[in-house]
Amino acid sequence: MAANDEREPDRQALPVNNDLLAYREGYTRVMREFAWAREHGFVPSERQIVLALTQAMKVYDAVRGGKSIAGRQPEWLHGRADALRTLLRNGIGGTPADREFRS
């Protein structure tokens, strides 16, 4: 697997203009939240990451190209989903067995 910097979004389908800014904000927010959670001893399970990804994609599909949701542009959710995919691809996410082992 190629070495991707966690802070750099996937380049596969980046939106343009204002959408790009919203995309980057969504992406960096997930990475910032994940870093904060790890610093405080919480590692989300793969299941939790997948559930968050599923939810972000469902909402994104519903509002894509339309109105904002909760004050955010739809591309913010796209960036959030891509960040969650990056976390999964990099194998970040604990399992219940991992948490028992650390205790």
The CA distance from 11 to 20, in Å, is 11
CB atoms within 10 A of CB 55: 14
Tell me, what's the pLDDT at 26? 94
Helix (H, G, I), strand (E, B) or coil at 63: helix
Beta bridge partners of 94: 45
3-class SS at 45? strand
Q: Where are the domains of the chain?
A: 18-102
Stated pTM of the model: 0.71
Alpha helices in 6-45 (DSSP H): 18-39
- In sequence order, the β-bridge partners of residue 69 are 72
CA-CA distance, 100 to 95, in Å (whole number)? 9
Q: In order along the chain (103 residues), what is the average pLDDT of each group of 10 residues?
A: 49 65 94 94 92 91 77 88 94 60 42
